[in-house]
Amino acid sequence: MPDLSAFTQTQRSVYIRPTVSASRDEVTGCTGLWAEEHTYSGSLGLWRQCPQHTQRRDIMMHAASAGMNRRTFLHLTAATAVVAVAVRTGRATAASDLPLLPLPPPQLEGGRPLLQVVKDRRSARAFSPKPLPAQVLANLLWVGFGVNRPDSGGRTAPSASNSQEMDLYVATAEGLFRYEAKAHQLQPILGEDLRAQSGRQAYVAEAPVNLIYVSDLAKMKGAPEDREFYAGAHTGFISQNVYLYCASEGLATVVRANIDRPALARRMGLRPEQRITLAQSIGYPKG
């Protein structure tokens, strides 16, 4: 059990399951088998074992393990609860209804030597369903296109004319999120699992994380053909950062272009000037 000493009794009670009833979980209201079989998994802190319930208790475990303070915990709880309702009901949820989800700060120490990482960089198309821990996801997104120079807002990947028009959307079993680099947080977009829609290959639905690269051409200058050229280059810079991080961490990944872009853009609620460039599946190797 994680250390809950930093939280109030009310918050601790959200995590600790009462033992007064062996047939009913007092937090989720589950009865029968599920009362004994709730199991934590998921990088975003959701209970996935029970098909009907996603509750605050799981977020308590996630918050304690990530060292979140009380304010961050309450913020995360409210946001994830809205996403959970949408997942259970199958209804899309407007982004304006969902507050930001904080990520752990990126770990700037450790990792393998660069030349060894480059040597091991490769594409893989078989993924374990094991979710990525929150810290791994936070590191991955920061390496991809995070802010590495806070004073100037400079990013980990170059951007022509500093347009920074690229957005990283994160498709997981829990929903669709957009990475907000300046705040190093996730903005929930939809409470739907869009992984299968992020590509035409069967394995995309199995990978715990699928990044969807979106270029907002309205933020760029120049002729339309120049904007699309730079959007492709920017996507390449970011996806290669992700490749190198995955090689360093022993993760499997592959960048993909076989996407039904119009259909996915509609599901994501993108504007006409927002263009899906590529997608990238990420997870632990299968087997």
Q: Given this model, what pLDDT does residue 160 score?
A: 86
Q: Is the model's pLDDT at 1 over the cut of 70?
A: no
The predicted-structure confidence for 11-46, as pLDDT tens digits, reads as follows 333 333 333 333 344 444 443 333 333 333 344 543
pLDDT band with cut points at 50, 70 and 90 for residue 97: low
Cross-strand partners of 185: 102, 180
Residues in the chain, how many? Answer: 287
- Over residues 258-284, the mean pLDDT reads 97
Q: Given this model, what pLDDT does residue 246 score?
A: 98
Q: Given this model, what pLDDT does residue 94 score?
A: 54
Question: Has domain 114-283 been given CATH number 2.60.40.640?
Answer: no
Q: Given this model, what pLDDT does residue 162 score?
A: 85
Q: Where in the chain is the domain with CATH 3.40.109.10?
A: 114-283
Nearest to 189 by CA among 93, 80, 270: 93
User: Using an 8 Å Cβ cutoff, are 167 and 214 in contact?
Assistant: yes
> In Å, what is the CA distance from 18 to each residue of 1, 14, 21, 30?
14, 10, 7, 12
Q: How far apart are CA 282 and CA 239, in angstroms?
A: 11
Q: What is the mean pLDDT of the chain?
A: 76
The predicted-structure confidence for 127-176, as pLDDT tens digits, reads as follows 999 999 999 999 999 999 999 999 999 999 998 888 888 999 999 999 99
The predicted-structure confidence for 193-237, as pLDDT tens digits, reads as follows 999 999 999 999 999 999 999 999 999 888 888 898 989 999 999
Q: What percent of the chain has pLDDT over 70?
A: 66
Tell which wins on pLDDT, 229 or 252. Answer: 252
